[in-house]
Structure 1
């Protein structure tokens, strides 16, 4: 009688299908991720052996080994020497790592990431206008004051700016949206931290953030979205100029 582990392995192997000869490691990882995020595999399930996975996908064992090693680094699987490889977490819990993986191994298109971030930030502001608590609104106002008080210290301004957007995303109370925005923002952060080059640019950004907080205090989602859209236009233009000059 087959064990539960054998049954799980057969289920996984049967769901994977095959890949073309010469498939890169990234495609092996993608195929595994596609399966893991369907929710059909229970967290803690031991995966088939490298040999079984390689045979099922019609790829070399080295490709499977490297793909699993990459997924372990991202926290998606747990490789236990002498025991096997196990899936971590529910499908929803794997979302941030999966998004980061997909964006990192794909062709990096910063202009598309900037556009995506703008759309997400605008929707976050809309949601936060009706969902943010009084404490969250107070924290956002405090971040704006920190931005204003940074003076010529643009590094301090950047930290306050980042904290504003992080807290705004929390205030929207949508975990999936928060995770997606976090991934996109982190991929752009190397540019965003240095995108404001002068006190004049910082003052414009402060006024734009103030408009967002005023809309949130008024519980006006349309005004919040509009204020964030205006901010994303100028912030996106600054970021795009910095990316192009890098």
Structure 2
């Protein structure tokens, strides 16, 4: 095949069943669908869920454990449990994110195109039930007792629920992929009353635009929100050196 061929085929690479299982579990943990200290189903249960051998499941869990995403506990209440992602994320991810910053910039560019348009469509299409669910997520994130890990989980739910409300499954899938890539960077962000207040104000303003079915305003507010998020990540990765 010539170098100027119009076809854009990719080379076939071998992929083990355990890799598919690992990727799905990793995504669920990064998106906080499996929360800190939550017990993962047993190897037997996972083998049924994934229609795979227990050996493949065991290999996938070993990969997660090697990355510090889960730990195995012994005893009467033993099993495999999810570890808090935000607890030591600044030690685990900052150097890796800085090293792959060019990739992160491409993700930010992609996000700046996709999420504002999803917000625009969601403003037109959101049902009363979807608006109510979004409001519940935002109100829960304002709870003074909301922990760092739960706050980050609710942030994911807020953005994914808006994506889903766009009514376009392709947008929803794209934003899910984006969040999987940027969540490790977002988990670097400091957690304080001020940080929570700023995020909540932005989410509240976005909710009001969505509930008013104002697509243009929803688009602009989402664009501003994710732009500020990108700037905060850059500052955290390259300018700040504390361990908050």
Structure 1 consecutive aligned stretches of length 4 or more whose deviation exceeds 6 Å: none
What is the CA distance between 1:242 and its match in structure 2? 2.8
Q: Distance in 1 between matches of 2:179 and 2:230?
A: 12
Aligned to 1:57: none
Aligned to 1:133: 127
Q: Distance in 1 between matches of 2:150 and 2:221?
A: 23
What is the CA distance between 1:112 and its match in structure 2? 2.3
1:193 to 1:74, Cα distance in 2 relative to 1, 3 A = same
What secondary structure sits across from 1:68 in the alignment? Answer: coil
RMSD value, Cα: 2.8
Matches within 5 A, 1:165-180: 165-180=159-174
Unaligned runs of 5+ in 1: 1-16, 20-29, 34-63, 76-105
What is the CA distance between 1:199 and its match in structure 2? 1.8
- With normalisation by structure 2, the TM-score equals 0.57
1:151 to 1:207, Cα distance in 2 relative to 1, 3 A = farther
What is the CA distance between 1:208 and its match in structure 2? 0.3
1:107 to 1:72, Cα distance in 2 relative to 1, 3 A = farther
Q: Deviations over 1:82-101 (max 9, x none)?
A: xxxxxxxxxxxxxxxxxxxx
- With normalisation by structure 1, the TM-score equals 0.57
Given candidates 14, 17, 21, the residue that maps to 1:68 is 14
Q: Distance in 1 between matches of 2:16 and 2:172?
A: 24
Q: Distance in 1 between matches of 2:16 and 2:235?
A: 33
1:219 to 1:206, Cα distance in 2 relative to 1, 3 A = same
CA contact (8 A) 1:147 1:160 kept: yes
Matches within 5 A, 1:56-135: 67-69=13-15, 73-74=19-20, 109-135=103-129
Aligned to 2:154: 160
Q: Deviations over 1:174-229 (max 9, x none)?
A: 11111112112201111112324322011101000001110111011011112212
- Higher relative contact order at CA 8 Å, sep ≥6: structure 1 or structure 2? 2
The aligned length equals 158
1:196 to 1:224, Cα distance in 2 relative to 1, 3 A = farther
CA contact (8 A) 1:154 1:196 kept: no
Q: Distance in 2 between matches of 1:205 and 1:127?
A: 22
- Pair 1:241-2:235 in alignment: yes
Aligned to 1:144: 138
What is the CA distance between 1:73 and its match in structure 2? 4.1
CA contact (8 A) 1:128 1:171 kept: yes
Aligned to 1:41: none
Unaligned runs of 5+ in 2: 22-99
